[in-house]
Chains A and B, each alone.
Chain A
Amino acid sequence: SAVISQKPSRDICQRGTSLTIQCQVDSQVTMMFWYRQQPGQSLTLIATANQGSEATYESGFVIDKFPISRPNLTFSTLTVSNMSPEDSSIYLCSVEGARGRPYNEQFFGPGTRLTVL
């Protein structure tokens, strides 16, 4: 399977600040996605990170709040902007289309646990 790393693994931030989360994959992948998991809840898709173009956001998520970059086929960042306590969640990077794997197999990173005070 594709090996996905996320940085930071966890952070505690003050409200009003921003945090950028990095997602690095050990091989080129076709698709990269970002999810949010609020405490005690299931995963919610935030957006699809598109290489070389703007991310595609799901309903309820906007670029100003969650800017995403994907400069190449192995790396993406998600920024959580102007944070409030409601942004306290686990943020997960996910990939699909890793070399040598079935095209439709989606893998997940370990997540970034964010607490906003």
Chain B
Amino acid sequence: DAKTTQPPSMDCAEGRAANLPCNHSTISGNEYVYWYRQIHSQGPQYIIHGLKNNETNEMASLIITEDRKSSTLILPHATLRDTAVYYCIVRVVSAGTALIFGKGTTLSVSS
């Protein structure tokens, strides 16, 4: 079973920030939080990952709570092209450990 819990769907207005929550209450000290997204009919795309500090890149920001039991992916200015399924995954980073996907959150961005 996936180690994360995400809402099945969310809506966001174009131009607004999209905040996608993820609960991972059983996360271990050596597990990272990864976010991927899958736009319809494409392979999943890496977004961002982090261990305990907040992270930011050109795509998004990742906010991890101090107890590491939950996190939020922030898309600062959502566009229609951000409509996708977003997957939050916790993962031990070691050789040969593949990503295990849960059900994810379907984000719908509308104008």
Contacts and interface: CB of A to CB of B under 8 A. Distances in A.
Interface in B88-110: 91, 93, 95-96, 98-104
Interface residues of A, number: 25
By DSSP majority rule, is chain A's interface helix, strand, loop, or mixed? strand
B87 interface: yes
A111 B98 contact: no
Nearest to A33: B98
Interface of B: 32, 41-46, 49, 85, 87, 91, 93, 95-96, 98-104
Contact of A104 (B32, B42, B87, B101): B32
A31 interface: yes
Nearest to A30: B95
Interface string A29-43: 011010100000011
B98 A105 contact: no
Contacts of B87: 42
Contacts of A107: 46
Given A30-B95, A92-B43, A110-B42, 8 more contacts: A31-B96, A31-B98, A42-B85, A42-B102, A43-B44, A48-B96, A94-B99, A104-B91
A7 B60 CA distance: 32
A34 to B, nearest CB: 9
Given A42-B103, A42-B104, A104-B32, A109 B43 contact: yes
* Among A31, A96, A106: residue with most chain B CB under 10 A: A106
Interface string A91-117: 010101000000111111111010000
